[in-house]
Structure 1
């Protein structure tokens, strides 16, 4: 595995002048044929992820081993932005098509859901290029269907990296410095977990509680996570506020529709009537096509207004 990784890093540097930064790798024999292995690669930053994601001319083998590349499109947070205040009535598929027509390197557009799996007014946009994402984030907005939408950084819930060898935090098993392995059930250190005869007495290595040492519900593990940043908390609060105000916003929108129907449409009719009268001189129309064009203008204005109301 290490020889393949070394050749991969060298290949990236020599052929593409790119410094590929990896945080680790792991051999995984799952779902493989005889004499085959999966090599899972973990990158250190979004630029390295983006480099491996794009289609380039890879060699036929690394370390005298033939290989195929399988990309699991799970875009990391470093390549994601959040769009604020997207109407619940907005069709996300149409929104995605419009975004892809205006911006490069967009992979997918997804409406976020809350814990109850209800839609929120936050939309996630995934990119395959850190530069494209950062440029939009620095600008602070995206133009979608001729409307500017504020954007912000995506801050997902923090996850915990637990070593499968020592049950410690923050590193992979191939980076572990502990010689013996730790049983996740009883927390006892043994030479070989596969031959370990565990007595089944469940004891967490981190807190001593009656659960496995890699149980993500362990309070000691949770306390080991970094505290939430202000922006992270703000996003969560914004989502909750949006959910609570959904009914109020719908009520306000209906009220605005009634006001427009009662005021704007009659005024539009009056304007067209006055213009039609001004178009007549000495019993003849100055512009013979005015009446047909005025009807077209009115229809277009109504269509435009209806479209705005649906946003």
Structure 2
């Protein structure tokens, strides 16, 4: 199975969730959007620099648009600004006579997430939050990690707004909870699969799809031209015939593609951004190779060389 460069780039890239500002009245002009984004940056600048005094980059939004409902959507890739605006209390009530209601992303970037490992199922997420809140003041959310639940234990994701608390937990490598010590590890995102919106096969986009002339329903495999007819159609994968939607990662086609994708990323780690490490799920590791993640070792080595040169020049 051939893995395209587009699929490799997509797998390694972190996909940022958008910040939504519900506006009243609704926006209908791009000039309004420009004014609102600029005014929001002016409004938060002083308090933001107070929270991040070492921040020297321009205070900018990476991408914004007005959605079909007349609300403002923003993509922010600067981690500090992303974290800052996840707090709803940091927004004004109005911008240019438009009342706004902020809806920030539910989750923080991987650089602010730790994993609490092998937690007993008898300890509820709310119990964990209640106890950890007494020690760590910047907890954003606590949730069971998908795919880790078994009969006795599971892993728990802890998202922290404060980078100092995040690093403190990782450096300690353990967390005391309910009178016990639990292992802690950094959260490494798994590689993502690029899936076509037309044929539902992995590795390419709808724009260049040559497998179908119409949009195929993920549920039943039929022609989705009439979308309403597929709101409650029978679920049967059109790739393998099993009882799941065609884009489910447990489909044999998706599993095979993901395995080949991970193997290709192992061969070409230089395609990964410098700050990204990708987690390799257990079922995709070689028996001879126990490596748990993929990272751009060349960029890491270059960073180490630069650090050594800087130290020598001091």
TM-score by length of 2: 0.45
Structure showing greater Rg: 1
* Larger relative contact order, structure 1 or 2 (CA cutoff 8 Å, min sep 6): 2
TM-score by length of 1: 0.46
